[in-house]
Amino acid sequence: MQISKIDLLKNSRITMGVSLFIISILCASLISKEANRTVMVWATQTDLAPGQVITENDITPVSALLPQSAVNYLSSNAQIIGGTVVTKIYKGDLIPSAAISKSTEVIDEKLVPLTVEITDIPLELSRGSVIDIYGINKRDTKSITTPVLMASNVSVSQVLERSNSGIASVLVILKNDQVLPLLEVLADSRLFIVRSY
């Protein structure tokens, strides 16, 4: 029995079609399997600075593919609201396990309000910014005075207000040993805030 070229062509097309169908099923299965390896973890919605206490508005659950390093990040099942930020975390980053502490003793810091002229702070200063605070003596206005670094690597907890009077109130997180030295010179100093990151 002789097989015609037309029959061979038909059979090869059928074989190719079946092969492509099987390949597509295998690919879909592999993609589905890979997608199932994703985990739900916490990510930030804002910049978070050391010393800040996490609120609901600071975090959001996201799906991430972390087959090997999932243990290094906080699962969205973890209760971290009310936890303390230990290291700087940028907006949109996944939250590392080591970046949050539930213990209030890890960071010995205090919230301190500062009143600063609106022209002496960065325009985009906000919660989660890290700043340096400089002061210039206000009493001796006739001579040029050298700015003094009063505190460095300070976390901003909140920018409370930007009033029409040209004054801004900034709530900062200071280490315990920074509080008294800063308060002692506030009355005689004009403050300047420089954003670090």
Beta strands (DSSP E) in 73-182 are 84-85, 100-101, 109-117, 130-137, 148-162, 167-175
142 has a pLDDT exceeding 70: no
Q: What are the counts of helices (DSSP H) followed by strands (DSSP E) for the chain? A: 2, 9
Tokens 């009355």 correspond to 187
pLDDT, tens digit, for every residue of 97-129? 888 887 655 567 788 999 898 889 998 888 899
Task: Kindly list the domain boundaries of the chain, sorted by start residue.
Answer: 38-101, 109-195
**3.90.1210.10, 3.30.470.10, 3.40.630.10, 2.60.40.420: CATH of 38-101:** 3.90.1210.10
Q: 176: which residues sit within 8 A by CB, 6+ positions away?
A: 108, 109, 110
Q: What is the mean pLDDT of residues 24-37?
A: 64
In the structure encoding, which two tokens stand for residue 168, read together?
A: 């801004």
pLDDT confidence tier of residue 44, bands split at 50, 70 and 90: very high
pLDDT, tens digit, for every residue of 2-18? 445 555 455 666 666 66
Q: Alpha carbon of 98 to those of 41, 88, 133, 135: distances in Å?
A: 14, 11, 28, 34
Read off the pTM: 0.65
